Structure 1
Amino acid sequence: MTDSTEPAPRYTPCAHLWCITPYFNPAHYRTRRANYELFAAPIRAAGIPLLTVECAFGADPFELPPGPDILQVRCPHVLWQKERLLNLGVAHLSPQAAKVAWLDGDILFANPDWAVQTAALLDEFVVVQPFDRAIRLAEGERSATPQHVAHESFASIWQQDRSRVHAGGLDVHGHTGFAWAARRDLLANHGLYEAFVTSNGDHFHAHVFAGDLTSSCMRSVRQGSRLFGASRRTRGSRLHVWLQWLSSGRLRGTLHNLPGIRQPNSRFWTHFLAWAEPVAAAVDGRIGCAPGHLLHLWHGDLADRQSGIGRQLLHEQGFDPACDIRIGPSGCIEWASDKPEIHQWLPEFFRRRREDGA
Structure 2
Amino acid sequence: MGCNLSQQHDYHSDRPSQPRSSKTSHESSNKIKSYDLSNLAVITIIFNPVKFKSRYEHYQNFAAHMNQSGVQLITVECIFESTTRFGLPPQTFEVTRADNRYHVQLVAPSVQRLPPQFEYVAWIDADIEFDSLDWPYLTIAELQRYPIVQLFELSFFLGPMGKKEILRRDYSFVYSIRNKKPIDPRRYNEWYPHPGYAWAMRRSAFNSIR
TM surpasses 0.5: yes
- Cα offset, 1:56, TM superposition: 0.9
For 2:209, which of 190, 196, 199 is the aligned residue? 190
Question: Structure 2 CA distance, aligned partners of 1:134 and 1:7?
Answer: 7
Residues 1:108 and 2:111 aligned together:
no
- The aligned counterpart of 1:87 is 108
Residues 1:164 and 2:182 aligned together:
yes
1:322-343: CA deviations, max 9, x gaps?
xxxxxxxxxxxxxxxxxxxxxx
Residues 1:20 and 2:35 aligned together:
no
- Cα offset, 1:165, TM superposition: 3.5
- The aligned counterpart of 1:175 is 194
Contact 1:114 1:131 (8 Å CA) reproduced: no
1:300-343: CA deviations, max 9, x gaps?
xxxxxxxxxxxxxxxxxxxxxxxxxxxxxxxxxxxxxxxxxxxx
Contact 1:132 1:153 (8 Å CA) reproduced: yes
- Cα offset, 1:50, TM superposition: 0.8
- Letter of the 2:148 counterpart: V
1:280-318: CA deviations, max 9, x gaps?
xxxxxxxxxxxxxxxxxxxxxxxxxxxxxxxxxxxxxxx
Contact 2:150 2:200 (8 Å CA) reproduced: yes
Contact 2:17 2:128 (8 Å CA) reproduced: no
For 1:138, which of 127, 146, 159 is the aligned residue? 159
- Cα offset, 1:178, TM superposition: 1.0
Question: Structure 1 CA distance, aligned partners of 2:185 and 2:52?
Answer: 36
- Letter of the 1:65 counterpart: L
Using the size of structure 2 for normalisation, the TM-score is: 0.73
- Letter of the 1:186 counterpart: A
Does the residue aligned with 1:94 lie in a helix, a strand or coil?
Answer: coil
1:69-111: CA deviations, max 9, x gaps?
2112223x49742122111210111112111111111111113
Contact 1:14 1:46 (8 Å CA) reproduced: no
For 1:121, which of 139, 142, 167 is the aligned residue? 142
- The aligned counterpart of 1:44 is 67
Question: In 2 relative to 1, CA 168–144 (structure 1 residues): closer, same or farther, beyond 3 Å?
Answer: farther
1:118-139: CA deviations, max 9, x gaps?
1110111121111110111112
Question: Structure 1 CA distance, aligned partners of 2:197 and 2:131?
Answer: 14
- The aligned counterpart of 1:71 is 93
Does the residue aligned with 2:111 lie in a helix, a strand or coil?
Answer: helix
- Cα offset, 1:173, TM superposition: 5.8
Does the residue aligned with 2:64 lie in a helix, a strand or coil?
Answer: helix
> Structure 1: where are the runs of 5+ without partners?
192-358
- Letter of the 2:104 counterpart: E
After superposition, residues 224-235 of structure 1 pair within 5 angstroms as none
Question: Structure 2 CA distance, aligned partners of 1:167 and 1:160?
Answer: 17
- Letter of the 1:131 counterpart: F
- Cα offset, 1:176, TM superposition: 1.2
After superposition, residues 238-277 of structure 1 pair within 5 angstroms as none
Question: Structure 1 CA distance, aligned partners of 2:198 and 2:17?
Answer: 15
Does the residue aligned with 1:57 lie in a helix, a strand or coil?
Answer: coil
- Cα offset, 1:21, TM superposition: 0.6
Contact 1:35 1:106 (8 Å CA) reproduced: yes
Contact 1:53 1:89 (8 Å CA) reproduced: yes
- Cα offset, 1:157, TM superposition: 2.0
Using the size of structure 1 for normalisation, the TM-score is: 0.45
- Letter of the 1:157 counterpart: S
Bigger fraction of residues in strand: 2
1:243-271: CA deviations, max 9, x gaps?
xxxxxxxxxxxxxxxxxxxxxxxxxxxxx
Contact 1:127 1:182 (8 Å CA) reproduced: yes
Larger relative contact order (Cα-Cα within 8 Å, sequence gap ≥ 6): 2
- Cα offset, 1:179, TM superposition: 1.0
Does the residue aligned with 1:19 lie in a helix, a strand or coil?
Answer: strand
For 1:31, which of 54, 64, 73 is the aligned residue? 54
Question: Structure 2 CA distance, aligned partners of 1:86 and 1:79?
Answer: 10
Question: In 2 relative to 1, CA 7–153 (structure 1 residues): closer, same or farther, beyond 3 Å?
Answer: closer
